[in-house]
Chain A
Amino acid sequence: MENAQLIGLSRQVALQRQMDVVANNMANINTAGFKNEAMLYEEYEMPVARDRDFSYSDQTLSYTQDWATMHDLSAGAIVQTGNPLDVALQGDGFLSVQTLAGERYTRDGSLKIDANGTLVTSNGQPILSEGGTVTFGPAETDIAIGQDGSISSSAGNKGRLKVVSFEAPQLLKREGDNLFSGADAVAIADTSTLVVQGAIEHSNVSGVTEMANMIRVNRAYQTLTQMIQRQDELRSKAIQTLGSMQA
Chain B
Amino acid sequence: MKALYIASTGMAAQERNVEVISNNIANMRTTGYKKQRAEFQDLIYQQIRRAGSQTSETGTMVPVGVEIGSGVRTSATTRIMTTGDMIPTEKELDVAISGQGFFVIQHPDGRTAYTRDGAFERDPDGQMVTVDGYQVEPGIVIPENARGISISNDGIVEAYLGTDTEPTELGQLQIASFVNSAGLQSIGNNLFVETPASGGAQISVAAADGLGALLQGYLELSNVNSVTEISDLIAAQRAYEMNARVISGADEMLSSVSNLR
A residues contacting B by CB (< 8 A) are 15-17, 19-24, 26-32, 34, 37, 39-40, 66-70, 81-83, 85, 108, 110, 112-115, 117, 122-123, 136-142, 154, 168, 170-178, 183-184, 207, 210-211, 214-215, 217-218, 221-222, 225-226, 228-229, 232
- Indicate if the CB atoms of A31 and B72 lie closer than 8 Å: yes
Q: Are A218 and B68 in contact (CB under 8 A)?
A: no
Q: What string of 1s and 0s marks CB contacts (under 8 Å) between B162-202 and chain A?
A: 00000000000000010110110000000000001101101
A43 to chain B, nearest CB (A): 16
Interface string of B224-261 (1 = CB under 8 A from A): 00000000000110110011011001101100110111
| Interface pair A110/B78, CB less than 8 Å apart | yes
Considering only CB atoms, which chain B residue lies closest to A40 in the complex? B64
Task: Given A110-B76, A171-B64, A215-B249, decide whether A27 and B10 contact each other with a Cβ distance below 8 A.
Answer: yes
Least Cβ–Cβ distance between B247 and chain A, in angstroms: 8
Task: Name the CB-closest residue of B to A184.
Answer: B52
CA A221 to CA B260, docked complex, whole Å: 12
Given A81-B37, A141-B177, A215-B249: A20 in contact with B44 (beta carbons within 8 A): no
Instruction: Report whether B249 and A177 are in contact in the complex, using a CB–CB cutoff of 8 Å.
Output: no
Closest 5 CB pairs of A and B: A27-B10, A113-B180, A24-B69, A115-B196, A68-B64
- Identify the stretch in B1-9, B87-95, B127-135, B146-154 within 8 Å (CB) of chain A at 4 or more residues: B1-9
Given contacts A115-B196, A138-B199, A140-B179, contact A23 B67 (CB under 8 A): no
Contacts A136-B179, A177-B41; is A141 near B100 (CB within 8 Å)? yes
Interface presence of B47 (CB below 8 A): yes
CB distance from A156 to the nearest CB of B (A): 13
Q: What A residues does B38 contact at CB under 8 A?
A: 30
**In whole angstroms, how far apart are the Cα atoms of A233 and B38 in the complex?**
53
Tell me how far the C-beta of B96 lies from the nearest C-beta in chain A, rounded to whole angstroms: 18
Instruction: Decide yes or no whether B13 CB sits under 8 A from chain A.
Output: yes
In the complex with contacts A30-B17, A83-B182, A112-B69 CB distance below 8 A? no
Could you say which residues of chain B place their CB within 8 Å of the CB of A174?
Answer: 42, 45, 67, 69
A29/B10 in contact, CB under 8 A: yes
- Chain B contact residues, CB within 8 Å of chain A: 1-4, 6-7, 9-10, 13-14, 17, 37-45, 47-52, 61-72, 75-76, 78, 80-82, 100, 177, 179-180, 182-183, 196-197, 199-200, 202, 209-211, 223, 235-236, 238-239, 242-243, 245-246, 249-250, 252-253, 256-257, 259-261
Given contacts A23-B6, A110-B39, A122-B75, contact A175 B182 (CB under 8 A): no
Q: Once the chains are docked, how many angstroms separate the CA of A106 from the CA of B42?
A: 12
List the A residue with the shortest CB-CB distance to B8: A27
Cα distance A117–B65 in the bound complex, in angstroms: 38
Say yes or no: B69 contacts A141, CB within 8 Å: no
Shortest beta-carbon distance from B233 to chain A in Å: 12
Q: Among B41, B67, B183, B235, which residue has its beta carbon within 8 angstroms of that of A31?
A: B41
Chain B nearest CB from A137 CB (Å) reads 7
Please determine whether A31 and B42 come into contact, CB atoms closer than 8 angstroms. yes
Query: Could you say which residues of chain A place their CB within 8 Å of the CB of B197?
Result: 112-115
Name the CB-closest residue of B to A27.
B10
Task: Pick from B44, B210, B261: contact of A141, CB below 8 A.
Answer: B210
